[in-house]
Amino acid sequence: MNETVEIRRATAADAETLSKIGWKSFYEAFADHPKNAPEDMKSYMDEAFSLEAISNDLADPDAIYFVAEIEGQMVGYTKLKQNSREDCVSGDKPLELCRLYSLKEYIGKGIGKALMLKSLEFAAENGHDFFWLGVWEFNFRAQDFYRKFGFEKCGEHVFQLGSDPQTDWVFERKI
Protein backbone atom coordinates (compact mmCIF):
# COMPACT_ATOMS: atom_id res chain seq x y z
CA MET A 1 0.00 0.00 0.00
CA ASN A 2 1.40 3.42 -0.94
CA GLU A 3 -0.59 5.38 1.62
CA THR A 4 0.94 5.76 5.09
CA VAL A 5 -1.13 4.31 7.92
CA GLU A 6 -1.11 6.30 11.15
CA ILE A 7 -2.16 4.58 14.38
CA ARG A 8 -3.21 6.69 17.37
CA ARG A 9 -5.18 6.29 20.56
CA ALA A 10 -8.78 7.44 20.23
CA THR A 11 -10.22 10.22 22.39
CA ALA A 12 -13.75 11.30 23.27
CA ALA A 13 -13.69 13.52 20.16
CA ASP A 14 -13.60 10.36 17.97
CA ALA A 15 -16.91 8.99 19.26
CA GLU A 16 -19.03 9.95 16.26
CA THR A 17 -16.57 8.69 13.63
CA LEU A 18 -15.91 5.50 15.61
CA SER A 19 -19.64 4.88 15.85
CA LYS A 20 -19.97 5.17 12.04
CA ILE A 21 -16.83 3.15 11.20
CA GLY A 22 -17.74 0.54 13.83
CA TRP A 23 -21.18 0.11 12.30
CA LYS A 24 -19.96 0.06 8.70
CA SER A 25 -17.06 -2.35 9.23
CA PHE A 26 -19.22 -4.79 11.21
CA TYR A 27 -21.93 -4.67 8.54
CA GLU A 28 -19.41 -5.18 5.72
CA ALA A 29 -17.85 -8.14 7.55
CA PHE A 30 -20.97 -10.06 8.54
CA ALA A 31 -24.18 -8.88 6.81
CA ASP A 32 -23.74 -11.17 3.79
CA HIS A 33 -23.23 -14.33 5.84
CA PRO A 34 -26.30 -16.60 5.53
CA LYS A 35 -26.13 -17.50 9.24
CA ASN A 36 -26.68 -13.87 10.29
CA ALA A 37 -30.34 -12.84 10.25
CA PRO A 38 -30.79 -9.15 9.30
CA GLU A 39 -32.92 -8.49 12.40
CA ASP A 40 -30.23 -9.95 14.70
CA MET A 41 -27.55 -7.87 12.96
CA LYS A 42 -29.67 -4.73 13.33
CA SER A 43 -30.51 -5.38 16.96
CA TYR A 44 -26.84 -5.95 17.89
CA MET A 45 -25.46 -3.09 15.81
CA ASP A 46 -28.04 -0.49 16.86
CA GLU A 47 -26.90 -0.99 20.44
CA ALA A 48 -23.18 -1.81 20.12
CA PHE A 49 -22.33 1.04 17.73
CA SER A 50 -24.68 3.72 19.00
CA LEU A 51 -23.07 7.06 19.77
CA GLU A 52 -24.03 6.55 23.40
CA ALA A 53 -22.36 3.10 23.65
CA ILE A 54 -19.15 4.28 21.98
CA SER A 55 -19.05 7.47 24.08
CA ASN A 56 -19.49 5.42 27.26
CA ASP A 57 -16.71 3.08 26.13
CA LEU A 58 -14.35 5.97 25.47
CA ALA A 59 -14.99 7.21 29.01
CA ASP A 60 -14.31 3.75 30.51
CA PRO A 61 -10.77 3.63 31.95
CA ASP A 62 -10.56 -0.12 31.15
CA ALA A 63 -11.36 0.34 27.44
CA ILE A 64 -8.67 1.44 25.00
CA TYR A 65 -9.33 2.27 21.36
CA PHE A 66 -6.66 2.67 18.70
CA VAL A 67 -7.67 4.01 15.30
CA ALA A 68 -5.96 3.59 11.94
CA GLU A 69 -6.01 6.60 9.62
CA ILE A 70 -4.88 7.25 6.07
CA GLU A 71 -4.57 10.94 5.20
CA GLY A 72 -6.70 11.77 8.25
CA GLN A 73 -9.53 9.37 7.33
CA MET A 74 -10.38 6.57 9.75
CA VAL A 75 -10.12 3.20 7.96
CA GLY A 76 -9.98 0.78 10.88
CA TYR A 77 -9.85 0.48 14.65
CA THR A 78 -9.30 -1.85 17.54
CA LYS A 79 -10.83 -1.95 21.01
CA LEU A 80 -8.89 -3.45 23.92
CA LYS A 81 -10.16 -4.10 27.43
CA GLN A 82 -8.28 -4.41 30.69
CA ASN A 83 -9.58 -6.40 33.70
CA SER A 84 -11.50 -8.80 31.47
CA ARG A 85 -10.99 -12.55 31.11
CA GLU A 86 -12.56 -15.94 30.38
CA ASP A 87 -11.97 -19.08 32.46
CA CYS A 88 -9.65 -20.64 29.87
CA VAL A 89 -7.43 -17.57 29.60
CA SER A 90 -3.93 -17.81 31.13
CA GLY A 91 -1.91 -15.27 33.04
CA ASP A 92 -2.31 -12.90 35.97
CA LYS A 93 -2.98 -9.76 33.94
CA PRO A 94 -4.57 -10.63 30.60
CA LEU A 95 -5.70 -8.03 28.07
CA GLU A 96 -8.73 -8.60 25.84
CA LEU A 97 -8.81 -7.66 22.18
CA CYS A 98 -12.55 -6.98 21.87
CA ARG A 99 -12.70 -5.71 18.30
CA LEU A 100 -10.35 -5.41 15.33
CA TYR A 101 -11.84 -4.08 12.12
CA SER A 102 -10.74 -2.64 8.84
CA LEU A 103 -13.11 -1.13 6.30
CA LYS A 104 -13.72 -3.64 3.50
CA GLU A 105 -11.78 -1.79 0.81
CA TYR A 106 -8.67 -1.85 3.02
CA ILE A 107 -8.77 -5.51 4.09
CA GLY A 108 -5.52 -7.30 3.26
CA LYS A 109 -3.61 -4.02 3.02
CA GLY A 110 -1.84 -4.04 6.37
CA ILE A 111 -4.35 -2.13 8.52
CA GLY A 112 -5.05 -5.19 10.70
CA LYS A 113 -1.35 -5.85 11.13
CA ALA A 114 -0.59 -2.24 12.09
CA LEU A 115 -3.39 -2.26 14.70
CA MET A 116 -2.31 -5.66 16.03
CA LEU A 117 1.32 -4.54 16.41
CA LYS A 118 0.21 -1.40 18.26
CA SER A 119 -2.00 -3.51 20.55
CA LEU A 120 0.85 -5.91 21.31
CA GLU A 121 3.08 -2.93 22.10
CA PHE A 122 0.42 -1.51 24.44
CA ALA A 123 0.05 -4.92 26.15
CA ALA A 124 3.79 -5.21 26.76
CA GLU A 125 4.17 -1.60 27.94
CA ASN A 126 1.33 -2.01 30.43
CA GLY A 127 2.53 -5.24 32.02
CA HIS A 128 -0.05 -7.59 30.50
CA ASP A 129 1.11 -11.19 30.37
CA PHE A 130 -1.51 -12.68 28.01
CA PHE A 131 -3.59 -11.33 25.13
CA TRP A 132 -6.93 -12.97 24.33
CA LEU A 133 -9.96 -12.56 22.06
CA GLY A 134 -13.17 -14.18 20.90
CA VAL A 135 -13.57 -14.90 17.19
CA TRP A 136 -16.70 -16.28 15.51
CA GLU A 137 -16.40 -19.98 14.72
CA PHE A 138 -17.18 -19.22 11.03
CA ASN A 139 -14.82 -16.25 10.67
CA PHE A 140 -12.03 -18.23 9.05
CA ARG A 141 -10.10 -15.27 7.66
CA ALA A 142 -9.80 -13.64 11.07
CA GLN A 143 -8.87 -16.97 12.70
CA ASP A 144 -6.04 -17.38 10.17
CA PHE A 145 -4.95 -13.81 10.77
CA TYR A 146 -4.80 -14.34 14.56
CA ARG A 147 -2.93 -17.65 14.19
CA LYS A 148 -0.34 -15.79 12.12
CA PHE A 149 0.22 -13.59 15.19
CA GLY A 150 0.69 -16.59 17.48
CA PHE A 151 -2.81 -16.98 18.94
CA GLU A 152 -4.13 -20.48 19.75
CA LYS A 153 -7.59 -21.67 20.74
CA CYS A 154 -8.10 -22.17 24.49
CA GLY A 155 -11.91 -22.44 24.71
CA GLU A 156 -15.27 -21.11 23.53
CA HIS A 157 -17.85 -18.58 24.67
CA VAL A 158 -21.24 -17.30 23.57
CA PHE A 159 -21.48 -14.11 21.53
CA GLN A 160 -25.06 -12.84 21.55
CA LEU A 161 -26.01 -11.42 18.13
CA GLY A 162 -29.51 -10.10 18.78
CA SER A 163 -31.58 -13.23 19.52
CA ASP A 164 -28.88 -15.59 18.20
CA PRO A 165 -26.41 -17.12 20.70
CA GLN A 166 -23.39 -17.64 18.44
CA THR A 167 -20.25 -19.57 19.32
CA ASP A 168 -16.99 -17.68 19.49
CA TRP A 169 -13.68 -19.44 19.78
CA VAL A 170 -11.47 -17.99 22.49
CA PHE A 171 -7.87 -17.52 21.35
CA GLU A 172 -4.91 -16.47 23.47
CA ARG A 173 -1.21 -15.81 23.16
CA LYS A 174 1.53 -14.93 25.58
CA ILE A 175 2.89 -11.39 25.57
Stretch (H or E) spanning 81? strand 73-82
Which residues in the 70-129 window bind ligand COA by CB under 6 A? Answer: 100-102, 107-113
Stretch that binds ligand COA, among 9-17, 39-47, 51-59, 144-152 (CB under 6 A): 144-152
Q: Please tell me whether residue 150 binds ligand COA under the rule CB under 6 A.
A: no
Least distance in angstroms from the C-beta of 63 to ligand COA: 16
What phi and psi values does residue 36 have, to the nearest 5 degrees? -100, 105
Q: Is the Cβ of residue 127 or residue 130 nearer to ligand COA in the bound state? A: 130
C-alpha gyration radius of the chain: 15
Residue number, 99 or 128, with CB nearest to ligand COA: 99
Residue 25 CB burial class (10 angstroms; 0-12, 13-18, ≥19): buried
Q: How far is the CB of 166 from ligand COA (least distance, A)?
A: 12
